[in-house]
Structure 1
Amino acid sequence: MSATTLIVTGKAKRARGGMTKKRGIDWLMLALVVIGAVLVVAPFYLVIVNSFKSPTDYATSGPLALPHELDFTGIVKFWERVDFPQKVWNSILISGAVAVLAVVISMLNAFAIGIGRVRGRTWIVLLFLLANLLPQEALLYPLYYMFKSVGLYDNVLSVIIIFTVIQAAFGTYLLSSVYGTFPKEVLEAASLDGASRWQILWRVVFPISRPTLSVLLIFFFIWTWNEFLIPLTFLASNDNQTVPVAISVLQGDRLMDVTTTSASALLGIIPTLIFFLIFQRTLTRGITAGAVK
């Protein structure tokens, strides 16, 4: 019994020693996570706190203190000055149209490149990769001249076309590598059953790759929503501007104060936050689908 007790005690001591080392690493990782969370949450805290302050309250208590009482002056002022519902609708229209069109075009291109095995597949994928590396500043003048000549300047359709091409280039590059590893047995079985290329795409490839397409749809929507330079350049009139452009233009006003700026930032974040929360489960499933399979 004593020998057994010693063996068990020795194992327990070794286990405690191992757990002590793991706990040290765990505490370090937890500290890093907490620091990262604070750095991420701090800007949101400043935006939320200062959005509900009056200019006098901000001047006396500073940006870090909680408001003495809730003041909605900044939110109301920004809402009325820029016609915020119209700006939200413009952003939803542009971002939603770009996300859907870019995903469809990416899927069709990737199906032809990754599964159809067109000639020069490697060079085509490389071309799409180079297209993603081009800075937007290099595209402004030729695109401005082109849309000005065809009468689409200051039209939301011009921004939709530009971002659809940009996002579809990235989506094609990503999906081409995914479809290049698609199981050939599944495609051959569908072909033997008499399915055409179109039927293989919509009845076989699309259902299997739906999680990946859902992730692309969400990212395309958020990326397009946050775009600033191209909408600022091609949407000159106030009625066509998006939320980021409206916020930036309003910040240049001499009558702008910190509380109204914070309110504009808060109202600009809320729609994308709601969109992310609605599709959070879809995003999680899409990211983990490949790992589970």
Structure 2
Amino acid sequence: MSTRAKATASRRGPGSYAVVAAVTVLTLAFLAPFLVILLNSFKTSADYRAHGSLSWPASWNWDVLGDVWQRVDFTQKLVNSVETSLGVVLIAVVLALFNAYALGIGRVRWRTAFLVFFLGVNVVPQEGLVYPIYYLFKELGLYDGKLGYTILVGITYSAFGTYLLSSVFSGFPRELIEAASMDGAGRWTILWRIVLPMSWPTLSVMCVLFFVWSWNEFLYPLVLLISNENQTVPLGLSVMQGQYTSDPTALSAAALLGVIPMIVFFILFQRSLTRGVTAGAVK
């Protein structure tokens, strides 16, 4: 063992090992439900009733996933969720960028009042907005349409994005803005050439958060998307549970199908998320 390794090992006291043990326990506790879902997704109903939910499958039954896929028309639900989530991300990020640019850098009048308004939008519960939104969509002909739902959720999320980006832009180096203005750059040029590239870490984190939030939305789709061809993944999976009937293996398979896209999404964009978080920490 090298001298540096020995020094590092000598600095590790009981507190360090306690922290490692606590993190390990928390990680196992976090992963335990996913492991239970994974095990039960490949069991037959008879196997589940005979051995319970914590036993290893007697035989890996892949037919359960295929049956659930067909029953909920998962292909259509998956396409709907991807379309609406990407649309929400696009609308929310663009609106938040423009709003925050005006509030954080443009310094418009009544900036504080606008920020309080956007903050208030974030704290209003969805249950208090569903009733008026339902009738508004009915009047505008947007009810049971993916476009109206996407616009609604995108605008709602943009309030949080505006509040977040405004705080970031308020600390933006004014010297860069003034130097660009002296060189003849207009507001659009400053936004696209200076502000936007330097804001990519924060914007990438917002994109990930908005996509995940939109994917997991349940109340708004439940009220506004009633047709089977327009429903998203959470709504499709909810039909697996009835009032008087329950199939635990099918429910586990449905939950597994619902969480797999999120796992793939995080694997693909974990680098962007990590860069965004570490960039904010370094600043």
TM-score, normalization: structure 1? 0.91
Query: Which residue pairs with 2:163 in the alignment?
Result: 173
Match of 2:189?
A: 199
Aligned residue number for residue 126 of structure 1: 116
Task: Give the structure 1 partner of residue 4 of structure 2.
Answer: none
Write the deviation string for residues 169-190 of structure 1: whole angstroms up to 9, x where unpaired: 0000000010011000010111
TM-fit CA distance, 1:291: 2.6
Q: Of the two, which has the highest radius of gyration?
A: 1
| Higher mean C-alpha displacement, 252-261 vs 119-128 | 252-261
1:30 aligns with 2:17: no
Counterparts of 1:89-128 in structure 2, within 5 Å, are 89-128=79-118
CA distance in 2 between partners of 1:38 and 1:78 (Å): 28
How does 1:5-84 map onto structure 2 within 5 Å?
A: 19=10, 22-84=12-74
Unpaired runs of 5+ in structure 1? 1-14
**Do the aligned partners of 2:142 and 2:148 also contact (CA within 8 Å) in 1?**
yes
What are the within-5 Å matches in structure 2 for residues 98-247 of structure 1? 98-247=88-237
2:241 alignment partner, one of 251, 269, 273: 251
Tell me the CA shift for residue 142 of structure 1.
0.4
Deviates more, 1:29-38 or 1:141-150: 29-38
Q: 113-122 vs 73-82, which deviates more?
A: 73-82
Question: Per-residue CA shift, 1:14-72, capped at 9, x if unaligned?
Answer: x99x947x420011111211111111101100110000001111111111111111102
Deviations 1:121-155 (A, max 9, x none): 11110110011000000000100000001111111
Paired with 2:96 and 2:240, the residues of 1 have a C-alpha distance of 36
Match of 1:86 in 2: 76
Shift of 1:249: 2.2
Q: Percent identity?
A: 51
Aligned-pair CA distance for 1:272: 1.1
For 2:111 and 2:145, the matched residues in 1 are separated by 35
Find the counterpart in structure 1 of residue 273 from structure 2.
283
C-alpha displacement at 1:166, in angstroms?
1.2
Q: Give the whole-Å Cα distance in 2 for the aligned partners of 1:156 and 1:250.
A: 23
RMSD: 1.6
- Is the partner of 2:166 in helix, strand or coil? helix
1:162 Cα deviation (Å)?
Answer: 1.5
- State whether structure 2 residue 264 is matched by structure 1 residue 274: yes
The Cα of 1:192 is off from its aligned counterpart by 1.0
The Cα of 1:256 is off from its aligned counterpart by 4.1
Q: Name segments (4+ residues, structure 1) moved above 3 Å.
A: 253-256
Secondary structure, counterpart of 2:239 in structure 1? helix
1:254 Cα offset (Å): 5.1
Give CA deviations for 1:94-127 in whole Å, capped at 9, x if unaligned.
1010011101110000000000000011111011
